[in-house]
Amino acid sequence: MTQLESEKEKLEKAGSVAFIVAQKRGGVFAPEKFLEANPFSFPFLLDEDRSVTKKYGVYHRIGLDAFDIARPATFVVGRDQVVRYIHVGSSQSDHAPLADVLDELQRAAKG
C-alpha cells in the first residue's frame, strides 16, 4: 500500500485510481491503526464480512501463514470494466511487482 502511495503521481498520469481492500476492523493486522499511522489518499474498504474477498476469489480460510483473511491480490480493471491484470499471492508476503502493475495501468489507460 505504501508503494502505491509513493507512485500516486504515476497512477494519476495513467488516468488510474487505486482502491484498497483490507480485512475487517480489529483484525490481527489492525488495519484501522495502520491507516491512522499511515494515511492514504486512495479509497479504502474494510471488508467486514469478507464478502469482497470471497467474491474476487482471494479469501484464505486457513493456511500456514493465514487464517480467515484475504491473500494479497492486485487487480487492474480498465475503464471498459475488463480485468486486465491479476496477481494473487501464494503467501502473505507475495505481492504483485509494482513495476508490472504500473505498466499494466498505463496500458489499460491507453486502450
User: Cα separation of 101 and 35, whole Å?
Assistant: 22
Q: Which residues contact 76 (CB under 8 A, 6 or more apart)?
A: 83, 84, 85, 86, 101, 104, 105, 108
Domain ranges in the chain are: 2-110
Higher-confidence position of 94 and 45: 94
pTM exceeds 0.85: no
Percent of the chain with pLDDT over 90: 2
Q: Name the DSSP letter for residue 72.
A: P
Q: Note the pLDDT of residue 24.
A: 67
16 has pLDDT over 70: yes
- Residue among 77, 61, 110 at smallest CA distance from 86: 77
Cell numbers 480467515 correspond to 68
- Classify domain 2-110 by CATH number: 3.40.30.10
